[in-house]
């Protein structure tokens, strides 16, 4: 006789499914941390995924970082000039790009490009039974697909964020150079004058958290995709929306934490 049979809901259908989602996500994260330290490590697949995440996002991040640098400098100049503080422009840009814009812009681009791609890829593997095919071949799909992708985004996105900051600063330099003929070395010296080790550390730490979040959300949504091709599109879409929301939330929390640490 079947003992387990569910009738009705504890709260309501939506609340129950929301709570179930949180529980499943919690289990997913716990499983990740259990599996990430156990062999086999699939190093080759991690490198392959780093290539997918990193090299293929490079062009878009270069372009966006460069444009952000130019536009931010152009927009900030008039306000600073009004106060007679145009010479502070490199410092302002340095703080803004290294501390906030570089990691945030990179995370948002990766949430859109990488998060959706992971969600769609794993989602389509799920609905076409490719993940089950791995399981029946005695291959752990969680380890091979999820752990490798989350590791790749966690490693690659901080590197991309640093790269984005440098490209953004270079874009800003071109604008400053056009107006004031400042040399590249002098511009970078000025830009980094007010940036402390804690700023760079919190910027990298933030990008690591963003990378982990983007990878994990994309994998979670893809791995739990259902309902055929509709489910694949939904997984990709939800991966982007949720990753972006969490990135903003984490940005606020980490900035607050960094400020507390600075205070102490």
In the shown chain, the binding pattern of residues 7 to 36 toward another protein, with x for contact by CB under 8 A and - for none, equals x-----------------------------
Closer Cβ to another protein, 10 or 138, answer by number: 138
Q: d(Cα 51, Cα 46) in Å, to the nearest integer?
A: 9
CB 21 to another protein: min, Å: 17
3-state secondary structure 123-172: HHHHHCCHHHHHHHCCCCHHHHHHHHHHHHHHHHHHHHHHHHHHHHHHHH
- With CB under 8 A as the contact rule, the residue among 50, 108, 110, 125 that binds another protein is 125
Closer Cβ to another protein, 7 or 197, answer by number: 7
In the shown chain, the binding pattern of residues 78 to 117 toward another protein, with x for contact by CB under 8 A and - for none, equals ----------------------------------------
- With CB under 8 A as the contact rule, the residue among 1, 10, 22, 59 that binds another protein is 1
Query: What's the burial of 33, exposed, middle or buried (CB within 10 Å: 0-12/13-18/19+)?
Result: exposed
Q: Of the listed pieces 53-61, 133-141, 208-216, 233-241, which binds another protein according to CB under 8 A?
A: 133-141
Does 3 help bind another protein (rule: CB under 8 A)?
Answer: yes
> In terms of DSSP H, where are the helices of the chain?
13-36, 43-82, 89-94, 102-110, 116-127, 130-136, 141, 148-180, 184-193, 197-223, 228-263
Q: d(Cα 2, Cα 165) in Å, to the nearest integer?
A: 60
Closer Cβ to another protein, 23 or 248, answer by number: 23
CB 129 to another protein: min, Å: 4
- With CB under 8 A as the contact rule, the residue among 16, 135, 193, 262 that binds another protein is 135
In the shown chain, the binding pattern of residues 236 to 255 toward another protein, with x for contact by CB under 8 A and - for none, equals --------------------
202 and 98 Cβ atoms separated by less than 8 Å: no
Does 4 help bind another protein (rule: CB under 8 A)?
Answer: yes
Q: Which contacts of 250-254 are long-range, i.e. CB under 8 A and separated by 24 or more positions?
A: 250/206, 250/209, 250/210, 250/213, 251/100, 251/103, 251/104, 251/206, 254/202, 254/205, 254/206, 254/209
Q: How far is CA 190 from the centre of its chain?
A: 29
Does 6 help bind another protein (rule: CB under 8 A)?
Answer: yes
Does 138 help bind another protein (rule: CB under 8 A)?
Answer: yes
Interface contacts to another protein, rule CB under 8 A: 1-7, 121, 124-125, 128-130, 132-133, 135-140, 144
């Amino acid at each position: 006789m079947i003992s387990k049979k569910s009738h009705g809901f504890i709260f309501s259908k939506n609340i129950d499914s929301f709570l179930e989602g949180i529980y499943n996500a919690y289990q997913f994260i716990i499983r990740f941390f259990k599996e990430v330290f156990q062999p086999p490590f699939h190093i080759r697949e991690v490198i392959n995924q780093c290539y997918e995440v990193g090299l293929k996002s490079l062009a878009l991040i270069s372009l966006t970082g460069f444009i952000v640098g130019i536009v931010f400098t152009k927009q900030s100049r008039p306000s600073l000039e009004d106060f007679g503080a145009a010479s502070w422009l490199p410092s302002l840009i340095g703080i803004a790009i290294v501390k906030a814009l570089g990691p945030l812009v990179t995370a948002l681009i990766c949430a859109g490009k990488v998060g959706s791609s992971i969600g769609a890829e794993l989602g389509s593997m799920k609905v076409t039974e490719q993940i089950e095919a791995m399981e029946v071949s005695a291959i752990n799909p969680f380890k091979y697909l999820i752990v490798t992708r989350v590791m790749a985004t966690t490693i690659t996105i901080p590197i991309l964020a640093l790269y984005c900051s440098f490209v953004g600063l270079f874009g800003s330099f071109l604008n400053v150079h056009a107006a004031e003929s400042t040399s590249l070395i002098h511009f970078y010296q000025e830009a980094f004058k007010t940036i402390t080790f804690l700023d760079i550390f919190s910027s990298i730490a933030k990008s690591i958290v963003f990378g982990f979040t983007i990878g994990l959300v994309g994998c979670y949504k893809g791995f739990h995709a259902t309902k055929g091709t509709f489910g694949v599109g939904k997984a990709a879409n939800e991966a982007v929306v949720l990753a972006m929301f969490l990135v903003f939330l984490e940005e606020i929390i980490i900035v607050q934490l960094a400020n507390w640490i600075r205070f102490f």
